[in-house]
Amino acid sequence: MSTDEQFWKRYAARDSTEPFFALAPMYDVTDVAFRQLFVRYGKPDVMYTEFTSAEGIIHAVGREKIGHLLWREENETPLVAHLFSADPAAMRAAARVAAEKGFDGVDINMGCPVKNIQKQGCGAAMIRTPERACAVVNAAKAGVADAGRSIPVSVKTRIGYLREEIDTWIPAILSSQPAALAVHLRTKKEMSEVPAHWELMPRIVALRDAHAPETVIIGNGDVKSVDDGIEKARNYGCDGIMVGRGVFGNPWFFSRETKGRPPSVFARLTALREHLALYQMYFDGVKNYEIMKRHFSAYVRGFAGASSLRARLMNTHTLTDADEILATVLREWTSLS
């Protein structure tokens, strides 16, 4: 096994009593600006890019439109390029691009429930086409090799379209021998409307042991804190923990120093200002400002005056306007302290 292939195994083996932690890939969320906050305040063991179309990233026009989805900084390693496609040829070409760009791994989405994605045969639709799913994994491995590298290829999926598919879908995708398999512990039909089925994780681990013992298993769903993730891994047997929505508004989530809690409201609002500045630095003229607003309710909550401040921020039209409001609030707090 080459150096390129080591990071999943290294994290899985570092301490059998404690899992590694990964920041989940989320479209219009886990961009380079968002990830840089976690580098500053509490870096997880592994990070992923946003959800990125393989077809888009290999097409000249598409690359101009969505190339920013694969922007990265050197301090984010290990960083995994999160791709989707139902076309093995497109996935092979895109995996090569990711490898050539210096990513530490390639991950394939096989769990997204969005209708538009499924109409393309991608995301959760791949659960219903296991042979094609495996062909896409193998194509990604070939693309990595085309680039002269040996970075790992992994998969993120769900337990099935329906709960009873766990015993057919999980072995099917494991037959492609992915380096890691992250499982959102809900079905496609359930979306995120029910509690995650952590009680099914031991079954997934057993299937891994039987079909692909070298594959690292990552659990995803309803992880409230690092301590909660550690407890879930110990109770249910997975190697790593992936966290998505739970990190919103809290770049300290993975920090052992703060135990995953923002030090203060002042620190949280200061982090929001930093997020605005990073967003402007990377994406001014590239991404719509309105996308940034989804973070306001996460940062600005749980303190006196939060509702009023949040409403003011939501009514802004530029990054500068939002920053000026926050700067004024923070100056007022400083003068009163």
Give the DSSP H or E segment for 241.
Answer: strand 240-243
Sequence-distant contacts of 306-310: CB under 8 A, at least 24 apart: none
**Cβ atoms of 243 and 24 closer than 8 Å:** yes
Kindly name the residue from 112, 122, 134, 238 that is annotated as catalytic.
Answer: 112
- Distance of alpha carbon 58 from alpha carbon 93, whole angstroms: 7
Give the DSSP H or E segment for 229.
Answer: helix 226-236
Beta partners for residue 46, in sequence order: 22
Is the torsion defined by CA of 162, 163, 167, 171 positive or negative?
positive
Q: What is the DSSP code string of 3-22?
A: GGGHHHHHHHHS-TTS-EEE
Indicate if 134 belongs to the active site: no
Q: Is 233 exposed, middle or buried (0-12, 13-18, 19+ CB in 10 A)?
A: buried
Output the CA–CA distances (angstroms, integers) from residue 333 to 270, 321, 326, in the order listed: 12, 19, 11
- Helix axis angle for 201-211 and 226-236, nearest 10°, is 60
Catalytic residues: 112
